[in-house]
Chains A and B, each alone.
Chain A
Amino acid sequence: MSDETTDPGPVTTLATPIRLDFEFTPGVAQSKFLRGLERGEFLGQRCATCGKVYVPSRGSCPTDGVPTTEDVLLGNSGTVTTYCVVNVPFAGQSIEIPYICAQILLDGANLSFMGLIQEIPTDQIRMGMRVEAVWVDEAELTPSLASVRYFRPNGEPDADYETYKEYL
Protein backbone atom coordinates (compact mmCIF):
# COMPACT_ATOMS: atom_id res chain seq x y z
CA MET A 1 0.00 0.00 0.00
CA SER A 2 1.56 3.23 -1.12
CA ASP A 3 1.06 6.40 0.86
CA GLU A 4 1.06 8.39 -2.37
CA THR A 5 -2.40 9.24 -3.58
CA THR A 6 -3.10 9.31 -7.28
CA ASP A 7 -4.38 12.66 -8.49
CA PRO A 8 -7.62 11.85 -10.30
CA GLY A 9 -7.40 15.14 -12.22
CA PRO A 10 -10.10 17.74 -12.56
CA VAL A 11 -13.73 16.71 -12.97
CA THR A 12 -14.72 17.15 -16.63
CA THR A 13 -17.84 15.01 -16.95
CA LEU A 14 -20.81 14.25 -14.78
CA ALA A 15 -22.90 11.09 -15.08
CA THR A 16 -26.58 12.03 -15.05
CA PRO A 17 -28.50 8.86 -15.86
CA ILE A 18 -32.27 9.08 -15.89
CA ARG A 19 -34.56 6.16 -15.30
CA LEU A 20 -38.26 5.51 -15.32
CA ASP A 21 -39.60 2.27 -13.87
CA PHE A 22 -43.18 1.50 -14.70
CA GLU A 23 -45.62 -1.37 -14.88
CA PHE A 24 -47.62 -1.91 -18.05
CA THR A 25 -51.03 -3.59 -18.02
CA PRO A 26 -52.44 -4.19 -21.51
CA GLY A 27 -56.17 -3.87 -22.05
CA VAL A 28 -58.46 -6.56 -23.43
CA ALA A 29 -57.49 -6.06 -27.09
CA GLN A 30 -53.74 -5.91 -26.57
CA SER A 31 -53.94 -8.90 -24.23
CA LYS A 32 -55.51 -10.91 -27.07
CA PHE A 33 -52.65 -9.89 -29.37
CA LEU A 34 -50.07 -10.84 -26.74
CA ARG A 35 -51.80 -14.17 -26.05
CA GLY A 36 -51.64 -14.80 -29.78
CA LEU A 37 -47.89 -14.22 -29.77
CA GLU A 38 -47.67 -16.78 -26.96
CA ARG A 39 -49.23 -19.29 -29.41
CA GLY A 40 -46.99 -18.18 -32.29
CA GLU A 41 -49.81 -16.30 -34.08
CA PHE A 42 -50.51 -12.73 -35.14
CA LEU A 43 -54.01 -11.82 -34.03
CA GLY A 44 -55.67 -8.63 -35.22
CA GLN A 45 -59.12 -7.08 -34.95
CA ARG A 46 -61.48 -5.84 -37.66
CA CYS A 47 -63.57 -2.69 -37.57
CA ALA A 48 -67.20 -3.55 -38.33
CA THR A 49 -67.72 -0.11 -39.91
CA CYS A 50 -64.78 0.35 -42.28
CA GLY A 51 -63.61 -3.27 -42.43
CA LYS A 52 -59.98 -2.46 -41.69
CA VAL A 53 -57.94 -4.96 -39.70
CA TYR A 54 -55.61 -3.56 -37.05
CA VAL A 55 -52.63 -5.36 -35.57
CA PRO A 56 -51.92 -4.92 -32.78
CA SER A 57 -55.42 -3.68 -32.09
CA ARG A 58 -56.09 -1.09 -29.41
CA GLY A 59 -59.66 -2.29 -29.14
CA SER A 60 -61.27 0.44 -31.19
CA CYS A 61 -61.08 1.86 -34.69
CA PRO A 62 -59.24 5.20 -34.73
CA THR A 63 -61.21 6.27 -37.84
CA ASP A 64 -64.72 5.30 -36.82
CA GLY A 65 -64.41 5.36 -33.04
CA VAL A 66 -66.24 2.07 -32.62
CA PRO A 67 -65.06 -1.01 -30.69
CA THR A 68 -63.29 -3.65 -32.78
CA THR A 69 -64.91 -6.88 -31.70
CA GLU A 70 -64.08 -9.35 -34.49
CA ASP A 71 -60.78 -11.17 -33.99
CA VAL A 72 -58.85 -11.96 -37.17
CA LEU A 73 -56.01 -14.44 -37.44
CA LEU A 74 -53.39 -13.00 -39.76
CA GLY A 75 -50.79 -14.70 -41.89
CA ASN A 76 -47.22 -15.37 -40.90
CA SER A 77 -46.00 -13.51 -43.98
CA GLY A 78 -46.18 -9.88 -44.97
CA THR A 79 -44.79 -7.15 -47.19
CA VAL A 80 -42.05 -4.64 -46.42
CA THR A 81 -43.65 -1.24 -47.04
CA THR A 82 -40.64 0.83 -46.05
CA TYR A 83 -37.42 0.30 -44.16
CA CYS A 84 -34.32 1.81 -42.57
CA VAL A 85 -30.80 0.38 -42.45
CA VAL A 86 -29.27 1.19 -39.06
CA ASN A 87 -25.54 1.91 -39.29
CA VAL A 88 -25.12 4.07 -36.22
CA PRO A 89 -24.10 2.52 -32.90
CA PHE A 90 -25.84 3.80 -29.77
CA ALA A 91 -25.86 3.04 -26.06
CA GLY A 92 -27.84 -0.06 -25.21
CA GLN A 93 -27.86 -1.38 -28.79
CA SER A 94 -28.62 -5.09 -28.69
CA ILE A 95 -28.32 -5.97 -32.40
CA GLU A 96 -25.09 -5.99 -34.37
CA ILE A 97 -24.99 -3.17 -36.94
CA PRO A 98 -25.75 -2.80 -39.76
CA TYR A 99 -29.29 -4.14 -39.45
CA ILE A 100 -32.63 -3.49 -41.12
CA CYS A 101 -35.67 -2.10 -39.38
CA ALA A 102 -38.76 -2.38 -41.59
CA GLN A 103 -42.44 -1.57 -41.57
CA ILE A 104 -44.18 -4.84 -42.31
CA LEU A 105 -47.77 -5.15 -43.54
CA LEU A 106 -48.93 -8.62 -42.53
CA ASP A 107 -51.15 -10.45 -45.01
CA GLY A 108 -54.73 -9.61 -44.11
CA ALA A 109 -53.84 -6.52 -42.07
CA ASN A 110 -54.47 -2.85 -42.81
CA LEU A 111 -51.81 -1.53 -40.46
CA SER A 112 -48.06 -2.10 -40.66
CA PHE A 113 -45.80 -2.55 -37.68
CA MET A 114 -42.07 -2.41 -37.16
CA GLY A 115 -39.93 -5.52 -37.38
CA LEU A 116 -36.31 -6.58 -37.62
CA ILE A 117 -35.21 -8.10 -40.94
CA GLN A 118 -32.42 -10.71 -40.94
CA GLU A 119 -30.94 -13.36 -43.24
CA ILE A 120 -30.40 -10.85 -46.05
CA PRO A 121 -27.52 -8.47 -46.85
CA THR A 122 -28.60 -4.95 -45.90
CA ASP A 123 -28.10 -3.67 -49.46
CA GLN A 124 -30.70 -6.12 -50.80
CA ILE A 125 -33.69 -4.94 -48.77
CA ARG A 126 -36.37 -3.21 -50.85
CA MET A 127 -39.92 -1.97 -50.68
CA GLY A 128 -42.39 -4.70 -51.56
CA MET A 129 -40.14 -7.54 -50.41
CA ARG A 130 -42.12 -10.48 -49.09
CA VAL A 131 -41.04 -11.62 -45.63
CA GLU A 132 -42.09 -14.15 -43.00
CA ALA A 133 -41.83 -14.20 -39.23
CA VAL A 134 -39.26 -16.44 -37.55
CA TRP A 135 -40.41 -17.35 -34.06
CA VAL A 136 -38.50 -18.50 -31.02
CA ASP A 137 -38.68 -22.19 -30.10
CA GLU A 138 -42.13 -23.26 -28.91
CA ALA A 139 -40.94 -23.69 -25.33
CA GLU A 140 -39.72 -20.09 -25.31
CA LEU A 141 -42.92 -18.44 -26.58
CA THR A 142 -44.16 -15.71 -24.25
CA PRO A 143 -46.95 -13.10 -24.49
CA SER A 144 -44.42 -10.61 -25.86
CA LEU A 145 -43.07 -9.44 -29.21
CA ALA A 146 -39.82 -11.09 -28.08
CA SER A 147 -41.51 -14.29 -29.31
CA VAL A 148 -40.80 -13.05 -32.86
CA ARG A 149 -37.07 -13.36 -33.41
CA TYR A 150 -37.13 -11.48 -36.70
CA PHE A 151 -38.55 -11.51 -40.22
CA ARG A 152 -36.73 -12.95 -43.23
CA PRO A 153 -37.41 -13.11 -46.99
CA ASN A 154 -39.94 -15.85 -47.73
CA GLY A 155 -38.86 -16.31 -51.35
CA GLU A 156 -42.07 -15.03 -52.97
CA PRO A 157 -41.88 -12.44 -55.76
CA ASP A 158 -42.07 -8.83 -54.60
CA ALA A 159 -45.53 -7.44 -53.93
CA ASP A 160 -46.96 -5.01 -56.46
CA TYR A 161 -46.64 -1.40 -55.29
CA GLU A 162 -50.40 -0.93 -55.74
CA THR A 163 -51.03 -3.51 -52.97
CA TYR A 164 -49.26 -1.54 -50.25
CA LYS A 165 -49.13 2.07 -51.43
CA GLU A 166 -51.91 2.98 -48.99
CA TYR A 167 -49.76 1.91 -46.07
CA LEU A 168 -46.66 4.09 -46.49
Chain B
Amino acid sequence: MADSEVLHAEHRLEYPYSRSTGPVIGAFLTALRDGRFLGATGSDGRVIVPPTEYDPITSDDVGELVEVGPGGVLESWAWVSHPLRKHPLQTPFAWGLIRLDGADTALLHAVDAPGPEALASGVRVTARFRPADERIGSMADVEAFVVGGGAA
Protein backbone atom coordinates (compact mmCIF):
# COMPACT_ATOMS: atom_id res chain seq x y z
CA MET B 1 0.00 0.00 0.00
CA ALA B 2 1.46 3.37 -1.01
CA ASP B 3 2.19 5.72 1.87
CA SER B 4 0.19 8.46 0.15
CA GLU B 5 -2.97 6.35 0.30
CA VAL B 6 -5.38 7.50 3.01
CA LEU B 7 -5.77 4.83 5.65
CA HIS B 8 -9.18 3.79 6.83
CA ALA B 9 -10.50 0.84 8.75
CA GLU B 10 -13.89 -0.66 9.42
CA HIS B 11 -14.58 -1.01 13.12
CA ARG B 12 -17.35 -2.78 14.96
CA LEU B 13 -18.16 -2.21 18.61
CA GLU B 14 -20.50 -4.91 19.84
CA TYR B 15 -21.81 -6.11 23.18
CA PRO B 16 -23.77 -9.38 23.42
CA TYR B 17 -26.09 -8.31 26.23
CA SER B 18 -28.87 -10.53 27.45
CA ARG B 19 -31.36 -9.48 30.06
CA SER B 20 -33.42 -11.35 32.61
CA THR B 21 -37.04 -10.70 31.86
CA GLY B 22 -38.58 -11.19 35.31
CA PRO B 23 -42.02 -12.76 35.84
CA VAL B 24 -44.19 -10.10 34.19
CA ILE B 25 -42.20 -9.16 31.08
CA GLY B 26 -41.33 -12.86 30.77
CA ALA B 27 -45.03 -13.77 30.71
CA PHE B 28 -45.67 -11.00 28.16
CA LEU B 29 -42.89 -12.29 25.89
CA THR B 30 -43.98 -15.90 26.36
CA ALA B 31 -47.48 -14.88 25.24
CA LEU B 32 -46.03 -13.09 22.18
CA ARG B 33 -44.29 -16.33 21.27
CA ASP B 34 -47.73 -17.96 21.47
CA GLY B 35 -49.16 -15.22 19.24
CA ARG B 36 -51.07 -13.42 22.03
CA PHE B 37 -50.82 -10.14 23.96
CA LEU B 38 -50.98 -9.88 27.75
CA GLY B 39 -51.54 -6.77 29.81
CA ALA B 40 -51.17 -6.18 33.54
CA THR B 41 -54.00 -4.96 35.72
CA GLY B 42 -53.03 -1.89 37.70
CA SER B 43 -54.26 -0.84 41.15
CA ASP B 44 -56.79 1.52 39.55
CA GLY B 45 -58.17 -1.25 37.33
CA ARG B 46 -56.46 0.02 34.21
CA VAL B 47 -54.84 -2.56 31.93
CA ILE B 48 -51.23 -1.69 31.15
CA VAL B 49 -49.76 -2.89 27.84
CA PRO B 50 -46.91 -3.63 27.53
CA PRO B 51 -47.11 -4.65 31.17
CA THR B 52 -44.92 -3.09 33.81
CA GLU B 53 -43.61 -5.24 36.63
CA TYR B 54 -44.69 -2.73 39.28
CA ASP B 55 -47.82 -0.64 39.56
CA PRO B 56 -47.05 2.85 38.23
CA ILE B 57 -49.10 4.48 41.04
CA THR B 58 -48.52 2.33 44.15
CA SER B 59 -45.27 0.60 43.11
CA ASP B 60 -46.76 -2.70 44.34
CA ASP B 61 -46.66 -5.80 42.19
CA VAL B 62 -49.14 -5.49 39.35
CA GLY B 63 -52.33 -7.53 39.44
CA GLU B 64 -53.69 -10.21 37.16
CA LEU B 65 -52.37 -10.58 33.61
CA VAL B 66 -55.19 -10.45 31.09
CA GLU B 67 -55.29 -11.09 27.36
CA VAL B 68 -55.72 -8.06 25.10
CA GLY B 69 -55.74 -7.38 21.33
CA PRO B 70 -54.74 -8.50 18.77
CA GLY B 71 -56.77 -5.63 17.28
CA GLY B 72 -56.69 -2.08 18.50
CA VAL B 73 -56.83 1.60 17.67
CA LEU B 74 -54.02 3.68 16.23
CA GLU B 75 -53.75 6.63 18.61
CA SER B 76 -50.98 8.53 16.86
CA TRP B 77 -48.26 7.83 14.36
CA ALA B 78 -45.23 9.15 12.50
CA TRP B 79 -44.42 8.17 8.94
CA VAL B 80 -40.90 6.89 8.15
CA SER B 81 -40.19 7.56 4.47
CA HIS B 82 -36.64 6.21 4.52
CA PRO B 83 -36.27 3.20 6.83
CA LEU B 84 -32.85 2.59 8.34
CA ARG B 85 -31.10 -0.77 8.38
CA LYS B 86 -32.14 -1.53 11.94
CA HIS B 87 -35.80 -0.59 11.48
CA PRO B 88 -38.32 -3.43 11.70
CA LEU B 89 -39.47 -2.90 8.12
CA GLN B 90 -37.31 -2.04 5.14
CA THR B 91 -40.18 -0.42 3.21
CA PRO B 92 -41.68 2.94 4.26
CA PHE B 93 -43.80 2.44 7.37
CA ALA B 94 -45.16 4.29 10.41
CA TRP B 95 -44.21 4.19 14.05
CA GLY B 96 -47.56 3.96 15.79
CA LEU B 97 -48.94 4.15 19.28
CA ILE B 98 -51.53 1.40 19.38
CA ARG B 99 -54.10 0.93 22.12
CA LEU B 100 -55.02 -2.74 21.96
CA ASP B 101 -58.59 -3.81 22.60
CA GLY B 102 -58.95 -4.26 26.35
CA ALA B 103 -55.92 -2.07 27.13
CA ASP B 104 -55.81 1.40 28.65
CA THR B 105 -52.32 2.34 27.50
CA ALA B 106 -50.70 2.42 24.10
CA LEU B 107 -47.97 0.18 22.72
CA LEU B 108 -45.29 1.43 20.31
CA HIS B 109 -44.84 -0.64 17.18
CA ALA B 110 -44.39 -0.47 13.43
CA VAL B 111 -47.47 -0.05 11.23
CA ASP B 112 -47.19 -1.47 7.73
CA ALA B 113 -49.33 0.65 5.40
CA PRO B 114 -49.14 1.49 1.70
CA GLY B 115 -48.67 5.18 2.50
CA PRO B 116 -49.39 7.89 5.06
CA GLU B 117 -52.78 8.55 3.42
CA ALA B 118 -53.91 5.12 4.65
CA LEU B 119 -53.41 6.17 8.29
CA ALA B 120 -55.29 8.44 10.66
CA SER B 121 -55.60 8.66 14.40
CA GLY B 122 -58.46 6.39 15.38
CA VAL B 123 -58.19 3.82 12.57
CA ARG B 124 -58.47 0.15 13.49
CA VAL B 125 -55.28 -1.88 13.23
CA THR B 126 -54.42 -5.48 14.01
CA ALA B 127 -51.19 -7.33 14.73
CA ARG B 128 -49.48 -9.35 12.05
CA PHE B 129 -47.49 -12.01 13.89
CA ARG B 130 -44.57 -13.84 12.40
CA PRO B 131 -45.13 -17.56 11.68
CA ALA B 132 -45.16 -19.62 14.90
CA ASP B 133 -41.89 -21.39 14.11
CA GLU B 134 -40.09 -18.03 13.78
CA ARG B 135 -41.33 -16.54 17.06
CA ILE B 136 -38.79 -16.43 19.88
CA GLY B 137 -40.43 -14.38 22.63
CA SER B 138 -39.65 -10.86 21.47
CA MET B 139 -41.46 -7.70 20.39
CA ALA B 140 -40.20 -8.59 16.92
CA ASP B 141 -42.53 -11.63 17.01
CA VAL B 142 -45.07 -9.05 15.89
CA GLU B 143 -43.84 -8.17 12.43
CA ALA B 144 -46.02 -5.06 12.30
CA PHE B 145 -49.56 -3.84 12.73
CA VAL B 146 -51.73 -3.48 9.65
CA VAL B 147 -54.83 -1.41 9.01
CA GLY B 148 -58.13 -3.28 9.41
CA GLY B 149 -59.38 -6.07 11.60
CA GLY B 150 -62.88 -4.76 12.31
CA ALA B 151 -64.43 -3.41 15.47
CA ALA B 152 -63.61 -4.85 18.87
A interface, CB within 8 angstroms of B: 8, 10-26, 31, 34-35, 38, 91-92, 143-144
Contacts and interface: CB of A to CB of B under 8 A. Distances in A.
Contacts of B30: 10-11
B17 A11 contact: no
B21 interface: yes
Give the top 3 A-B pairs by smallest Cβ distance, nearest first. A11-B137, A11-B29, A20-B13
B84 to A, nearest CB: 12
Given A11-B21, A11-B26, A14-B29, A25 B7 contact: yes
Nearest to A142: B1
Interface majority SS on B: helix, strand, loop or mixed?
mixed
Given A18-B15, A35-B3, A13 B10 contact: no
A17 B16 contact: yes
A15 B114 CA distance: 31
Given A8-B33, A13-B20, A14-B138, A23 B9 contact: yes
Contacts of B16: 15, 17, 91-92
B137 A19 contact: no
Contact of A14 (B10, B13, B19): B19
B6 interface: yes
Given A10-B26, A15-B16, 17 more contacts: A11-B26, A11-B29, A14-B21, A15-B18, A16-B17, A17-B14, A19-B13, A19-B14, A20-B13, A22-B11, A22-B12, A22-B13, A26-B7, A35-B3, A38-B1, A143-B1, A143-B7
Contacts of B137: 11, 14
Contacts of B19: 13-14, 16
Contact of B21 (A12, A19, A31, A91): A12
A103 B15 CA distance: 25
A14 B27 contact: no
B8 interface: yes
Contacts of A15: 16-18
B70 to A, nearest CB: 18
